[in-house]
Chains A and B, each alone.
Chain A
Amino acid sequence: MKRILLSVCFVGLLAGPALYLRHVHPGDIVSLEQQQAIDRYGLSLVESAAAAGVNFVHTKPQVDAKLSNIEAQIASMGASVSIVDFDRDGWNDFYVTNSAPGSFNHLYRNRGDGTFEDVAVALGVADLNQPGTGTCTGAVWADYDNDGYEDLLVYKWGRPELFHNDHGRGFTRVTEQAGLPAWINAGTATWFDYDHDGLVDLFIGGYWPDDVRLDNLTTTRIMPESFEYANNGGRKYVLRNLGNGKFADVTREVGITSTRWTLAVVAADFNNDGWPDLFVANDYGSSELYQNEPDGKGGRRFREVGLAAGVGRSPKSGMNASIGDVLNTGAFSIYQSNISEEGVLVQGNNLWMPAAPGELRFTNMASAMGVELGGWSFGAQFGDLNNDGFTDLYLVNGYISGNARSNYWYDFSEITGGHKSIISDAKNWPAMNGRSLAGYQRKHFWLNAGDGHFTEVAQAVGATDTYDGRAVALADFQNRGVLDVIVANQGGPLLLYRNHVNPKRDWIEFELEGSTTNRSAIGAQVRVRWNGQEQLQEVVAASGYCAENQRRLHFGLGEKASVESIVIRWPSGREQVLKSPAVNRLHHIKENP
């Protein structure tokens, strides 16, 4: 009798949860009509790149024939998007990188009527994939000389290029004069004023080692030595802005020696001490958190505290770094994307929530808050897309969409478990032969309920593409108080999702301009207090994966909002307070000298 009873329990435990999970996760997600989506979720996204005159299709890098067996994996990066108002006409423009030899990057100028025109060739920032110079992987904007116009850094698996913005009328290449390194196989870069001298400095994160030329290899021993503990990637660079158009390599002086495989960085003040720290997401390894601290000689340095802070304990495949005040508590959470594939590899993405205000300690709450599983995830951005007062999360994913009927996962899992002498040599990797690897994945858009839970609504609100997403950026392209979504796909078309939001919901936006601090106001924080709530945002350059959001800060406020005050903390440490600013408008605020 006991045996029978136990057997019944056993069978119930064996089958019950599986049946239950199948019931609660039916798999088929229904798209809603536009008005239904707005009524239910407060927004609807409509892909309208072609209608806006944007017909960009990314082309992949070309690699050495020695890598032909896994060419699709090696050539899997390069699509990026960065938002900028390069001509200061009050309309957000954007820049996208291309990667095939001879292909052109595009700079789309916003005409202000809902359409864009490509002006990259005319302004001299298009032809950056010339053979022998490497392949573009991303771009990031900031006003490095404080002349009021955003300048352009294009980073590459190759020679990084710096362009001075000539008052929105053209660009002058200043790479050599600036003293940038001759070659960096860069996975990411950002601008930040780490020493508060009023000039933005550069961080560039290497992915492949600097001596690797992917289009002209001398050896096939270029792969990571480990899938989760690799230290044979590219070096990092901290390039200090000297103020005379030149940059000095101070990487070792400031204490950064990592050679992990970096794919994303975000610079922000995580411990509320007024100085920008660095969160670095690394592929094939743990993330790093660099705390900005005095160097004892009147300058600044960085100390790696990832392990103590909790973000460096569990090695995964970090590919994204973005920040948001998820619960309106006045503190930043960090979203790091990784890899999850059913039945093979379930790393889960990380949502690093601050453990305590002002402390560099984080807890991964991705599972509890429902933003953990995102496929082979790449870029993600926080932003209040439905203007309800809570920051939402948009994630793109999908690695290689090849033959839809066969995939490479088995071979991938077989080789990546092997000894480093096997895994690190590309010739040991089985040929992909056109197969997919985490291809054709559905994107994720998680609505933040504000109570610690996110709800997945991507299909319902219209984010239905299945391209190999890399970079995603958010911007108010039509000055409507609404964040649109722009997605750069690897080997695929650029997508522009126009956002239609419940018009009853209020918003407020801020465009900041530094005076004694850097003019781009990178590092400035804004706290908005309204309806008994408070939300914190910071002006950052790079955010997500190979992406940069609009420079202005956007706050959704919900219905019938009344803003009590906003507090701006400039990088200089000065605070500026505005009482009862008007809602539903963009405020231009200049730092009081």
Chain B
Amino acid sequence: MNVLSDQAAVRSAAVTDPTSPWRRFLSPDNRFLPPLLITCILLVGQVTFGMLESWSRTFLAIAVSIALELLLGRWMTGKWPHLASAYISGISIGILVRSPFFWPYALCAALSIMSKYVLRWRGAHLWNPSNFGVSVMFFLYPAAAASLSIQWGNTLWPMAVIWCLGAVIVGRLKRFHICATYVVSFLLLSWLRSEITGKPWLASVAPLTGPMYQLFVFFMITDPKTTVSGRKGQCIVAALVAVVEMLFRLGEEVHAPYYALFLVGPAARTLDLAFTRAKIVRQESPPAVP
């Protein structure tokens, strides 16, 4: 979900209007908006339902994220990095990881931030940092960490909060088509799963009605830094994530959405980078002389 800060990095002149304070506030250039909004989600979730394992664990994740970002950013690039991304990574880990211990929060935060600087190709990181961190934690440390799944009271209105705040963020980046594609794909595929397994369709749909999925749908799969370019490609990737997730679910994998994005996201991003590079090379090549 540190996606949010990455989203802020997207420059889109179309939505900016320097004369309007409101537009300036909602502009993708405002890198403080996404941290502000996700902080709102955190506060609403914690104050109403005690969503977090504890404040201290979340603070630990944030502190480790920010400290490592400062250290690695300065060391690797020679410049002080903007901290919005690291802050959001820390919050994301604080929300998504459930563990009675402290160390998984620190470790997850460290792996998330480091993955941005290590797992790169052609100048871009391939994994959504939070997705990488939590997937690794769930895979390697199942005895110590589980995912957010049953919090927020199984009621509608906390999700409405996420929808509203998520809509602001996703709307300003014109990425609703990714969310919509994924949701429609999930619904159709859950019907297919239900047909295959014989389980009630509502049971198959149930995860989509929980808060963890709202965070996943709005904030994780829409990460501009790790999604492909082009509206059509983005829709295809969103659908592919849902398909791979279905395969994981048929294998009864609890962390199916994280693992699906973990596999599909970087693969799609790699192909996208390769095609983009080839396209640029083609465009820059002089036309063949007849």
Contacts and interface: CB of A to CB of B under 8 A. Distances in A.
A108 B215 CA distance: 56
Contacts of B53: 314
A430 B210 contact: no
Contact of B207 (A2, A372, A414): A414
21 contacts: A6-B76, A21-B141, A226-B154, A227-B150, A227-B154, A229-B155, A344-B142, A344-B146, A346-B99, A346-B146, A409-B252, A410-B249, A414-B203, A414-B207, A417-B150, A417-B209, A418-B209, A427-B200, A428-B200, A428-B206, A431-B199
Contacts of A418: 154, 202-203, 205-207, 209-210
A103 interface: no
A367 B102 CA distance: 10
Nearest to A307: B50
Contacts of A320: none
Nearest to B101: A367
Given A10-B115, A430-B197, 17 more contacts: A13-B111, A14-B140, A226-B153, A226-B154, A228-B150, A314-B53, A343-B146, A343-B254, A344-B142, A345-B149, A409-B252, A413-B149, A414-B249, A419-B210, A422-B206, A428-B202, A428-B203
Interface string A410-427: 110111111110110001
Interface string A6-21: 1101100110011001
Interface residues of A, number: 51
Interface string B128-156: 00000000101011111110011101111
B202 A422 contact: yes
Contacts of B154: 225-227, 229, 417-420, 423
A346 B203 contact: no
Contacts of A373: 100, 143
A414 B201 CA distance: 12
B45 to A, nearest CB: 12
Contact of A229 (B101, B136, B138, B153): B153
A410 B253 contact: yes
- A10, A18, A345, A346 pick with most chain B CB within 10 angstroms: A346
A510 B114 CA distance: 61
Interface string B95-133: 000111101000100110011011000000000000000
A323 interface: no
- A344, A409, A419 pick with most chain B CB within 10 angstroms: A419
B72 interface: yes
Interface of A: 2-3, 6-7, 9-10, 13-14, 17-18, 21, 25, 225-229, 286, 313-315, 340, 342-348, 366-367, 372-373, 409-411, 413-420, 422-423, 427-431
B252 A345 contact: no
Nearest to B97: A346
A372 B143 CA distance: 12
Contacts of B115: 10
Interface string B216-247: 00000000000000000000000000000000
Interchain residue pairs A-B with the least CB separation, the first 9 = A418-B206, A343-B142, A348-B100, A410-B252, A419-B209, A417-B210, A226-B154, A229-B153, A227-B150
Given A6-B118, A229-B153, A343-B138, A367 B143 contact: no
B149 A416 contact: yes
Interface string B178-199: 0000000000000000000101
Contacts of B117: 3, 6
B49 A9 contact: no
A342 B142 contact: yes
A422 B199 CA distance: 13
A367 B142 contact: no
- B153, B199, B252 pick with most chain A CB within 10 angstroms: B153
A374 to B, nearest CB: 11
Given A348-B100, A415-B206, A420-B155, A14 B254 contact: no
A14 B111 contact: yes
Given A344-B254, A422-B203, A428-B203, A13 B150 contact: no
B163 to A, nearest CB: 14
A315 B203 CA distance: 23
Nearest to B156: A419
B209 A422 contact: yes
- B101, B156, B213 pick with most chain A CB within 10 angstroms: B101
Nearest to B199: A430
Tier of interface size on chain B: 35 or more
A417 B207 contact: yes
A346 B98 contact: yes
Contacts of A18: 140-141
B204 interface: yes
Contact of A410 (B143, B146, B156, B254): B254
Contacts of B114: 6, 9-10, 13
Given A2-B76, A416-B150, A314 B50 contact: yes
B22 interface: no
B130 to A, nearest CB: 16
Given A225-B154, A228-B153, A417-B150, A346 B145 contact: yes
A344 B253 CA distance: 10
Given A21-B141, A414-B207, A226 B155 contact: yes
Contacts of B151: 228
Contacts of A346: 98-100, 143-146
A587 to B, nearest CB: 41
Contacts of A6: 72, 76, 114, 117-118
Contacts of B110: 13
Contacts of A229: 49, 153-155
Contact of B107 (A13, A410, A423): A13
B281 to A, nearest CB: 25
Nearest to A25: B143
Given A343-B254, A418-B209, A429 B203 contact: yes
B100 A2 contact: no
A477 B210 CA distance: 50
Contacts of B141: 17-18, 21
Contacts of A25: 143
B75 to A, nearest CB: 7
A346 B149 CA distance: 11
A313 B47 CA distance: 10
A372 B101 CA distance: 10
A541 B144 CA distance: 35
B38 interface: no
B173 interface: no
A6 B154 CA distance: 42
B217 to A, nearest CB: 14
A25 B110 CA distance: 23
Contacts of B153: 226, 228-229, 420
Contact of B118 (A10, A415, A420): A10
B111 A413 contact: no
Nearest to B152: A229
B254 to A, nearest CB: 5
Contacts of A342: 142-143
B4 interface: no
B203 A415 contact: yes
B41 interface: no
A375 to B, nearest CB: 11
Nearest to B52: A314
B8 interface: no
Contact of B206 (A313, A340, A348, A423): A423
A21 to B, nearest CB: 7
